[in-house]
């Protein structure tokens, strides 16, 4: 009689999947936490991802060493999982304490060095443990299958990717809505530990589950305490009143005396002076001035579109001009909920006014979607200190807004400034906004010194700098505002400062090195604006690379970072200024060195057989990691510029990439009979290069799509195909390297680590250097060039297939 088979827990596959789930959820949680500490600055995105990839690569190499010394991989996995479960919540708390370590003045943005050192130090424990776990699981799977090839590593790679997909979906659809950061890290760490223990110690695994069920609700107290610690260190003069979580980020409400400040994802959104509005508070003065200056620029404003700014007083002042309708766009409904108890009575009444329609959607998408036309479009958002805000200052957005204006309509926006635009940083940024507007609009008028209002129209007679005209309109409408009167208009339009500011904006940015120089000093008598306008055609062309802000090249965002860093630091942003000197041809010397090394190795008899092809395989692995991560960052930047929801969608976007990666690796395992054939690996390098070129061509087309759904589908497709090719590369490269090295775990660890080193370099280059200055399309071109170089190096190193011998012990 046949003995019935006992039920067996699918322990190994569960551990592989759990590695992917934990890695993905942990990455998104820690990424979001670091973004809040770094004020939402997207330059940090590549820095964080680079640190993550670097330490995972180091961890995988350490895992290979450990599994050679201690042959029981499952024991090492249990130890590793225990440390991950402890390290994840500890890292969340440590990140929130990071503002106490960063040496920056209150309100200043962290420097690139702060971001790099902070990310490297805090992410090291978790990421090295996850990297080591990959190699341990690959060894365990090889022993389970009793195989001598790299199939264990390939299966682990696919399983981890599937776990990444599950983790991304779970976070986006479930965890982010029901658990805070500490609760999520406790829950996911406990799940990993329970799965690791379930193979041999099911009682201990059950105990971990019970402890987690009790501990996850209690972890909310640690989360709340660490949030208070973060804001006490980040804004020591403020008291944290409350926090609100939404799909778009965490909203923190802080108080300093009578001032209430609202931060979202670590970035200041607006502040108010308290509920008493008998007098306009200092925090609202800029909004009041901007509203009345803009409204008087139109002869008879009836329909107004207000993007942002409604909670800081702009909406209230717009309504004083007797408009018939205001469409007010504010992305996050949670922000209105959080602000409601602290708003002045006039602002609260304005939100309830029947003439106001509140739209909870992205302002960029609202404008792009088409529909009603307006007499005035007022964009009242913060300075473009992040890429997500910069998208309201680009040529594409200005063109979309222009299409929504009625004849005689006016587009208005504002930005921080200085008298006479002193300082290269602020002059570069504000001249960029001016020249970008001039690409779309016939007339552009700049008014103001501390705050610069930029007004744009197509009708040459629409904009006026005549104080008498604007004062008459203000008085005829019988406007009464406690913080503004007609006399303010005369002060704003004083001829001397007005003429100097417009002269500098017209003349700056018209030489190849203008971005590296202070703005030109205006003449003692620069001439009236009509004369300046007539003479503008005689000036040299504007340097488009550094003075035209577009979705594909967000240079306005870069100039803003330089300005704020120079304003708050004694070192005047040397790292950021160095980035501006980067040229596309700088990619040629590294490629030449790689090719020269390949030729030298192939020419020497001692290195021709194994060292030359081994080197070529590692170059292919490195460049594929670099290329796919460079494209991924480029796609995130482009998606951010057009769609605006990266903070909310990052888990889903990475899940799509990982789904493609799993499919690519699976297809390779099933359809390629000889995975050690370097000719197939070379074909993949060529395919990656061609795909990168295709994405470079398709990105501008995708940006022009009107439908948000179509935009998302296009970017999801780009991301998925990139993942497929990256996934196809890993099992091929591992098999090719194993055929030359004959040590399975070592080969898997080296290939995995080198791929992650390439991804580390790609993330840092794309996010902090290439995308802001050379542009998003340049990221794709770099990816194509890198893999074309790898294809050539493989050809030089030799493409003859190698046989996999029995593994060395």
Query: Tens of pLDDT along 194-236?
Result: 988 887 777 888 888 888 888 899 999 999 999 899 888 888 8
Give pLDDT, residue 251: 87
pLDDT higher than threshold 50 for residue 263: yes
Q: What's the rounded mean pLDDT across residues 444-456?
A: 92
Q: Which comes out higher in pLDDT, residue 700 or 191?
A: 191
Model confidence pLDDT, tens digit, residues 601-615: 888 877 766 788 889
Please answer whether residues 420 and 452 qualify as being in contact, where contact means their C-beta atoms are separated by less than 8 angstroms.
no
Q: What's the rounded mean pLDDT across residues 182-188?
A: 94
Of 226-240, 391-405, 420-434, 639-653, give the lowest mean pLDDT range. 639-653
The CA–CA distances, whole Å, from 199 to 164, 206, 211, 481, 728 equal 22, 12, 19, 72, 31
Q: How confident is the model at residue 25 (pLDDT cuts 50, 70, 90)?
A: very high
Q: Residue 532 class from Cβ within 10 Å (0-12 exposed, 13-18 middle, 19+ buried)?
A: middle
pLDDT higher than threshold 90 for residue 185: yes
Residues of the chain with pLDDT > 70: what percent?
Answer: 91
Q: Which comes out higher in pLDDT, residue 76 or 525?
A: 76
Give pLDDT, residue 104: 64
Q: What's the rounded mean pLDDT across residues 467-495?
A: 89
Please answer whether residues 210 and 221 qualify as being in contact, where contact means their C-beta atoms are separated by less than 8 angstroms.
no
Residue tagged 């976070």 (tokens)? 171
**Helical ranges in 146-180 per DSSP H:** 151-170, 176-178
pLDDT higher than threshold 80 for residue 547: yes
Give pLDDT, residue 648: 58
Give pLDDT, residue 6: 37
What is the C-alpha separation between 326 and 707, in angstroms, rounded?
24
Residue tagged 């596309």 (tokens)? 584
Residue 524, token pair as written in the block: 């003692």
pLDDT higher than threshold 80 for residue 276: no
pLDDT higher than threshold 60 for residue 183: yes
What is the C-alpha separation between 639 and 641, in angstroms, rounded?
5
Give pLDDT, residue 107: 59
Q: Which comes out higher in pLDDT, residue 659 or 94?
A: 94
Q: How confident is the model at residue 5 (pLDDT cuts 50, 70, 90)?
A: very low
Q: What is the mean pLDDT of the chain?
A: 85
Give pLDDT, residue 588: 92
> Which residue is catalytic, options 375, 380, 383, 729?
380
Which range has the top average pLDDT, 118-132, 155-169, 362-376, 479-493? 118-132
Give pLDDT, residue 12: 75
Q: What's the rounded mean pLDDT across residues 629-650?
A: 72
Give pLDDT, residue 747: 81
Residue positions counted in the chain:
809
Distance, CA of 302 to chain centre: 38
pLDDT higher than threshold 70 for residue 48: yes
pLDDT higher than threshold 50 for residue 4: no
Residues of the chain with pLDDT > 90: what percent?
Answer: 32
Q: Which comes out higher in pLDDT, residue 304 or 271?
A: 304
Give pLDDT, residue 369: 82
Nearest to 62 by CA among 147, 124, 150, 15: 124
Known catalytic residue at 80: no
pLDDT higher than threshold 50 for residue 3: no
What is the C-alpha separation between 738 and 685, in angstroms, rounded?
19
Residue tagged 């300082």 (tokens)? 423
Please answer whether residues 320 and 481 qualify as being in contact, where contact means their C-beta atoms are separated by less than 8 angstroms.
yes
Model confidence pLDDT, tens digit, residues 389-412: 888 999 999 999 999 999 999 999
pLDDT higher than threshold 80 for residue 742: no
Please answer whether residues 501 and 420 qualify as being in contact, where contact means their C-beta atoms are separated by less than 8 angstroms.
yes
Model confidence pLDDT, tens digit, residues 552-597: 888 988 888 888 777 665 554 566 777 878 888 888 999 999 999 9
Q: What's the rounded mean pLDDT across residues 17-22?
A: 91
Q: Given its phi and psi angles, is residue 370 left (phi above 0), alpha (psi -120 to 50 degrees) or beta?
A: left
What is the C-alpha separation between 772 and 430, in angstroms, rounded?
16
Q: How confident is the model at residue 710 (pLDDT cuts 50, 70, 90)?
A: confident
Kindly state the helix (H) or strand (E) to which residue 242 belongs, with its residue range: strand 239-246
pLDDT higher than threshold 50 for residue 193: yes
Q: Which comes out higher in pLDDT, residue 1 or 271?
A: 271
pLDDT higher than threshold 50 for residue 2: no
CA dihedral 426, 430, 435, 440 (to 10 degrees): 150
Q: How far apart are the first and last CA of the chain?
A: 41
Nearest to 499 by CA among 439, 437, 446: 446
């Amino acid at each position: 009689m046949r003995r019935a088979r006992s039920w067996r827990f699918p322990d190994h596959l569960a551990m592989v999947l759990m590695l992917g789930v934990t890695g993905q959820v942990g990455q998104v949680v820690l990424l979001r936490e670091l973004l809040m500490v770094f004020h939402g600055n997207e330059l940090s995105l590549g820095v964080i991802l680079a640190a993550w990839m670097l330490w995972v690569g180091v961890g995988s190499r350490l895992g290979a060493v450990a599994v050679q010394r201690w042959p029981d991989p499952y024991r090492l996995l249990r130890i590793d999982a225990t440390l991950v479960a402890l390290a994840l919540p500890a890292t969340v708390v440590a990140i929130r304490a990071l503002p106490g370590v960063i040496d920056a003045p209150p309100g200043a943005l962290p420097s690139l060095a702060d971001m790099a050192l902070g990310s490297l130090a805090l992410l090291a424990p978790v990421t090295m443990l996850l990297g080591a776990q990959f190699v341990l699981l690959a060894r365990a799977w090889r022993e389970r299958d009793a195989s001598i090839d790299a199939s264990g590593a390939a299966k682990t790679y696919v399983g981890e990717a599937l776990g990444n997909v599950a983790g991304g979906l779970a976070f986006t659809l479930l965890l982010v809505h029901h658990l805070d950061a500490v609760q999520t890290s406790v829950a996911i760490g406990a799940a990993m530990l329970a799965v690791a223990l379930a193979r041999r110690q099911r009682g201990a695994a059950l105990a971990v589950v019970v402890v987690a069920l009790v501990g996850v609700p209690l972890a909310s107290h640690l989360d709340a305490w660490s949030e208070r610690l973060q804001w006490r260190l980040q804004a020591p003069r403020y008291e944290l009143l409350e926090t609100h979580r939404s799909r778009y980020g965490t909203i923190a409400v802080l108080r300093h005396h009578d001032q209430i400040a609202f931060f979202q994802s670590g970035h200041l959104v607006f502040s108010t002076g308290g509920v008493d509005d008998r007098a306009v508070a200092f925090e609202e003065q800029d909004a009041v001035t901007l509203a009345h200056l803009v409204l008087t620029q139109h002869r008879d404003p009836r329909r107004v579109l207000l993007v942002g700014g409604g909670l800081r007083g702009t909406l209230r002042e717009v309504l004083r001009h007797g408009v018939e309708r205001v469409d007010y766009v504010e992305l996050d409904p949670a922000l209105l909920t959080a602000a409601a108890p602290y708003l002045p009575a006039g602002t609260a009444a304005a939100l309830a006014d029947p003439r106001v329609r509140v739209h909870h959607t992205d302002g960029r998408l609202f404008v792009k979607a088409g529909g009603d036309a307006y007499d005035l479009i007022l964009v009242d958002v913060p300075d473009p200190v992040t890429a997500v805000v910069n998208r309201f200052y680009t040529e594409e957005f200005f063109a979309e807004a222009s299409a929504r204006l009625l004849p005689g309509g006016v587009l208005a926006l504002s930005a921080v400034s200085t008298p006479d635009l002193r300082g290269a940083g602020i002059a570069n940024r504000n001249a960029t906004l001016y020249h970008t507007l001039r690409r779309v609009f016939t007339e552009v008028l700049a008014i103001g010194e501390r705050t610069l209002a930029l007004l744009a129209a197509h009708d040459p007679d629409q904009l006026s700098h005549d104080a008498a005209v604007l004062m008459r309109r203000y008085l005829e409408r019988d406007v009464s505002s406690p913080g503004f009167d007609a006399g303010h208009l005369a002060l704003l339009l004083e001829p001397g400062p007005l003429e100097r500011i417009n002269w500098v904006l017209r003349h700056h940015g018209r030489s190849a090195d203008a971005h590296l120089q202070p703005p030109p000093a205006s003449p003692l008598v620069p001439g009236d604006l009509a004369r300046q306008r007539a003479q503008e055609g005689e000036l040299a062309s504007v340097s488009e690379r550094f003075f035209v802000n577009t979705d594909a090249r967000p240079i306005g965002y870069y100039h803003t970072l330089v300005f704020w860093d120079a304003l708050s630091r004694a070192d005047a942003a040397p790292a950021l200024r160095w980035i501006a000197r980067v040229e596309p041809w700088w990619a040629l010397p590294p490629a030449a060195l790689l090719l020269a090394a390949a030729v030298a190795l192939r020419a020497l008899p001692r290195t021709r057989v194994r060292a030359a092809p081994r080197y070529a395989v590692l170059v292919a692995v490195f460049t594929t990691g670099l290329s796919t991560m460079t494209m991924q960052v480029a796609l995130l930047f482009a998606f951010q510029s057009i769609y605006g929801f990266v903070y909310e969608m990052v888990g889903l976007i990475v899940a799509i990439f990982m789904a493609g990666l799993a499919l690519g690796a699976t297809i390779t395992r099933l359809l390629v009979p000889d995975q050690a054939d370097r000719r197939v690996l070379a074909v993949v390098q060529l395919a990656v290069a061609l795909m990168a070129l295709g994405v470079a061509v398709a990105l501008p087309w995708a940006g022009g799509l009107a439908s948000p759904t179509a935009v998302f589908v296009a970017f999801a497709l780009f991301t998925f195909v990139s993942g497929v090719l990256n996934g196809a590369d890993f099992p091929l490269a591992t098999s090719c390297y194993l055929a030359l090295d004959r040590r399975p775990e070592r080969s898997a660890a080296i290939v995995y680590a080198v791929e992650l080193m390439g991804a580390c370099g790609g993330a840092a280059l794309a996010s902090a250097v290439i995308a802001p200055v050379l542009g998003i399309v340049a990221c794709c071109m770099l990816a194509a060039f890198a893999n074309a170089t790898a294809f050539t190096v493989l050809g030089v190193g030799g493409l003859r297939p190698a046989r996999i011998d029995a593994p060395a012990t």
